[in-house]
Amino acid sequence: MQPAAPLISVVVILFNMEREGRRTLYSLSTRYQTGIRDTDYEVIVVDNGSRPPFPSAYLEDLEGTFRYVYVDDARPSPASAINFGVRQSRGEYVCIMIDGARMLTPGMFGYAVRAIRAFEHPVVTSPSWHLGPDLQRRAIKKGYSKDAEDALLARIGWPADGYRLFEIATPAASSKDGWFLPMGDSTCLFMARSDFERIGGCDERFDSPGGGHLSRDTYRRACALDDRDLVVLLGEGSFHQLHGGISTNVSEERFAEDERAWTEQYVALRGAPHTRLAKAAHYLGHVPPQARQALLASAENVAARGLQTPAS
């Protein structure tokens, strides 16, 4: 007999990131995640052509349900790898993690399950962060490195308390306004499998290395479903590790060149530049002490703009 399908299938994409992938996958395990059972979710690890491949034996020591698949004929963009991973999965809901270098806070999956149970048709997300004192493409100019990042993580005693990640991180550009204003994309995005299929999955025409504006496009199209509730998880987040990523760990000059090319492709596919979708959000979660300063900054951003953000 086949075991019962889990509620959530997490699809995480790895590419040449063994150091970072080990931490990310640990943060997805039931030893680290709280308020959720191992039968509630599975993790599909898609290795998108790493050379050498990610050591799949590492998954055997993780608590939870993990499955590793290797894409030998990998494309530069992760779009097809995500779609492939979703096809291998069984959950009623899918969680897309386009970048396997992003560690999660411990309540991410538990509160996602609560959101799924509380709302009939939710799209669930949380803000993104960069480990380090600034956006990583700026921080590396000032000497930030993998060794410096390792030292930061050792200083907070990770993974003993995953919420201490807030103490050593900077909001990503897509989430610079915090929890209460529209975000540009999502690096940990939950939606019903039927909704993923309804938007056509990840658009594989976003074929730039790293995906270009693929993540923004997927998040925006999911949020644009007018009969779906956007749920933002308070007190949770995904944290990017330094790994030489195509958009996060290059120089400002290189990023500006890439951004122009990605914008041109987005306009060619969608007919207009990308904009943040101002959709009223519901909020669910808690505020750990380590995130209080970030929450206060989020509220100040709302006040500074003179906006009233619908909340529930």
- pLDDT tens for each residue of 260-305: 999 999 999 999 999 999 899 999 999 999 999 999 999 999 999 8
Q: Please check whether residue 263 is in contact with residue 131, taking contact to mean a CB–CB distance below 8 angstroms.
A: no
306 pLDDT more than 80:
no
Q: What is the DSSP string of the chain?
A: -PPPPPSEEEEEEESS-HHHHHHHHHHTSTTT--S--TTSEEEEEEE-S-SSPP-GGGGGGSSS-EEEEE-TT--SSSHHHHHHHHHH---SEEEEES-TTEEE-TTHHHHHHHHHHH-SSEEEE--EEEESSS-HHHHGGGT--HHHHHHHHHHTTTTS-GGGGGGGEEE-GGGTT-SSS--S--SSEEEEHHHHHHTTSS-TT--SGGGTTHHHHHHHHHHT-TTSEEEEEET--EEEPPS--TTTSS-HHHHHHHHHHHHHHHHHHHSS--------EEEEE---GGGHHHHHHHHHHHHHHT------
% the chain with pLDDT above 70: 95
- Look up tokens 């039968």; give the residue: 39
Q: What tens digit of pLDDT does each residue of 188-234 get?
A: 999 999 999 999 999 999 999 999 999 999 999 999 998 999 999 99
Instruction: State how far the alpha carbon of 150 is from the alpha carbons of 19, 114, 241, in Å.
Output: 10, 33, 10
What is the pLDDT confidence band of residue 187, given thresholds at 50, 70 and 90? very high
What residue ranges define each of the domains in the chain, with the CATH number in brackets?
A: 8-305 (3.90.550.10)
pLDDT at 244: 76
Q: Which residues lie across from 229 on neighbouring strands?
A: 122
Q: Rounded distance, CA 63 to CA 32, Å? A: 9
Provide mean pLDDT across the span 76-84.
97
Extract the tokens encoding 258.
Answer: 């890439």
Provide mean pLDDT across the span 46-69.
97
What is the model's pTM? Answer: 0.94
Q: What tens digit of pLDDT does each residue of 130-146 get?
A: 999 999 999 999 999 99
Q: Rounded distance, CA 266 to CA 271, Å? A: 8
Extract the tokens encoding 1.
Answer: 């007999």
Q: Which residues lie across from 191 on neighbouring strands?
A: 94
pLDDT at 214: 97
Q: What is the DSSP string of 169-217?
A: EEE-GGGTT-SSS--S--SSEEEEHHHHHHTTSS-TT--SGGGTTHHHH
Q: Rounded distance, CA 196 to CA 86, Å? A: 9
